[in-house]
Amino acid sequence: MSSKRTHTAMERELARTLTTACETAKSEIVGFQWLTHDVDYDAFPRSLQVTWVFDTEARMNSALGSPDKARMLELTQAAFDEIGITVSNIAAHVAFRAEQRLAARPHDSGPVALDSSRQARGKRGQGH
């Protein structure tokens, strides 16, 4: 199987497992809106980064100061484990942002939010 095919298959599986994590978190964590991931397959899995996005800074900070933070790390780890991605420190692969902070930087070239019902294009900035 070619590298491009391998990456495409991994991307599809990663999107599937992270979508499950996202939907679970939406029902459990107040203020959580969506997540996205970014990866450079030339440096995989070291480059894999999952960003959890909240509606406000206040709700994000509240979640990060509660057991919700551990739950998000647990959900991310479970998504990775399900498809055989091994990392030594899950926290190094997870970031947290607030939508209001993202909106304040309109020229930011960071991850792009996509509705989970739409198919994402490419391997970077896929929303779940």
Token pair recorded at residue 45:
């899995």
How many structural domains are present in the chain? 1
pTM (two decimals): 0.78
- Integer Cα distance of 87 and 122 in angstroms: 23
The Cα–Cα gap between 65 and 70 comes to: 10
Residues in the chain: 128
Q: What is the CATH number of the domain that holds 26?
A: 3.30.300.30
Residues of the domain holding 91: 3-127
Q: How many Cβ atoms are within 10 Å of 92's Cβ, its own excluded?
A: 11
> For the chain, what is the mean pLDDT?
84
The C-alpha atoms of residue 128 and residue 116 are separated, in whole angstroms, by 5
128 residues of the chain, pLDDT tens digit each: 458 888 899 999 999 999 999 999 999 999 999 999 999 989 999 999 999 999 999 999 999 999 999 999 999 999 999 999 999 999 999 999 999 766 665 544 444 343 333 333 333 444 55
If you search the block for the tokens 């939010």, which residue do you land on?
113
